[in-house]
Structure formats: structure tokens, C-alpha cells
Amino acid sequence: MNRITVNKIIGYKKWIPVEVIEGSDEHQEILRWNKAMHIIQWQDKKEMDKQSEIADNEISYEQKQEETGFELVDEDEPSPEEWYIQNEENKVIWEAVQTLPENQRIIVILFFYRGYSFREISRMLGKRLYTIQKSYQSALDKLKPILEEKIF
């Protein structure tokens, strides 16, 4: 059997070379995780491009104010205090997610941040649906005490 070197994901955008036997279970597992991470990174790039395009097409706040002569207030936008609190909570949540084992972290990111269903994640990673659901529940059980301590 051929031994090959592949890049294994150890974190978000972090890779290490690992030597494995081509076609082995470990090799297949690395390929599945890498595929999932590539999908996440592709979606990030797509979202950033979309946000950039929206920003390029938007009229600035100052231009709107000049056109109308009134100060515009967006009711849907959070106040600066609300935005700060929400932003800090999101940072704490993201840091807590990064402490999870790799398989649970990827499942949480795909489900919570990317909106994939458990069924889609199980197809993507080549795992049984029950395994994905149990891993997600286990991740939530690990996150709960961390988040209760830091946020509440």
C-alpha cells in the first residue's frame, strides 16, 4: 500500500501534514473533514464578497442625510450599547466553540453558523445521522457550563 502525505485540519484555517496509507479509514476521515472545512471557507469568501458588493452599492449615511435633510434612524439597528454587548457575547461563544474537539467543532459550525441540517452534515462527513446528532448534543453539553460562566 502507498503511504502518502495529506494536510489534516487542526483548526479553522490551520493545517498540518500527516502521513497515512492511501485509502485507509484515517485517510478517508481526513478527506471528509477537509471537504467540510473547504465548504466553510468557500462560504466565508462568498459571504465576504457579497457584503463587499452590498457596501459598494449602498448610499452612505451622510449622503442620505444630505438628500432628506433629516437624521435617519433605523429602528431595526441595535443601539451602540446593544451592539457592543451582542458583539462581546458572540466573541465569547466563538472562543468557546474553538475549545471543542475537532469533530464536534466542525459539526457545530456547520449546523449553527452555516445552517446545514443534521442530515446534510451526515452526508457531507460520511457519518450516520445519529452520530452527528449525538456529537452535536455532546458539544452543547460541553459549551453550556463554559457559556453560563462567561456570559451569565
Domain ranges of the chain: 1-55, 80-152
Q: Which CATH number describes the domain made up of 80-152?
A: 1.10.10.10
- Res 11: pLDDT: 61
Q: Please measure the distance between the N-terminal and C-terminal CA atoms of the chain and give it in whole angstroms.
A: 54
Position with higher pLDDT, 73 vs 128: 128
H/E stretch holding 104: helix 102-108
- For residue 69, the model assigns a pLDDT of 57
Residue 12 contacts residue 98 (beta carbons within 8 Å): yes
As a whole number of angstroms, the distance between CA 39 and CA 132 comes to 17
What is the per-residue pLDDT across 57-106, written as a single tens digit (0 to 9) for each?
Answer: 666 656 655 665 555 555 666 666 676 667 788 888 888 888 899 889 99
What is residue 79's DSSP assignment? Answer: P
Q: In the prediction, which pLDDT does 137 show?
A: 95
Considering only CA atoms, which of 120, 100, 101 is closest in space to residue 110?
120
Give pLDDT, residue 61.
57
> Which of residues 18 and 109 earns the better pLDDT score?
109
Residues near 147 by beta carbon (within 8 Å), at least 6 away in sequence: 92, 93, 96
Report the pLDDT value the prediction gives residue 66, as an integer from 0 to 100: 61
Quote the CA–CA distance of 80 and 86 in Å, as a whole number.
10
